[in-house]
Amino acid sequence: MDEVAVNPFYIVLLFIARCLLPLLILLGISALLRKLGLIREPIQPPPSSNDDLLNQNNHNSEGGLAHGNL
């Protein structure tokens, strides 16, 4: 079969159109939404009182649920 030589410039152009252009559009939309104040930074979780409870349950001397004993 006859192979058609493809210009490398055409391949780079297709790569930009297929991959980089949508990425740039999404990043632009995200930046615009942040600038308008519709997207905020995530809220920091409160102090980890839950973590203290989990550590107490896992390190009790009786075994408890962490060791299969109820």
Kindly list the domain boundaries of the chain, sorted by start residue: 1-40
How many angstroms separate the CA atoms of 52 and 57, rounded?
A: 9
The answer on pLDDT for 5 being more than 80 is yes
User: What distance in Å separates the CA atoms of residue 40 and residue 30, rounded to the nearest whole number?
Assistant: 11
Range in 13-17, 35-39, 49-53 with the lowest mean pLDDT:
49-53
| pLDDT for the residue 56 | 54
Percent of the chain scoring above 90 in pLDDT: 34
- Over the Cα atoms of the chain, what is R_g? 27
Side chain identity, residue 15: F
Residue 44 has a pLDDT of 83
* pLDDT recorded at residue 62: 57
Better-scored residue on pLDDT, 12 or 57:
12
Whole-structure pTM value: 0.49
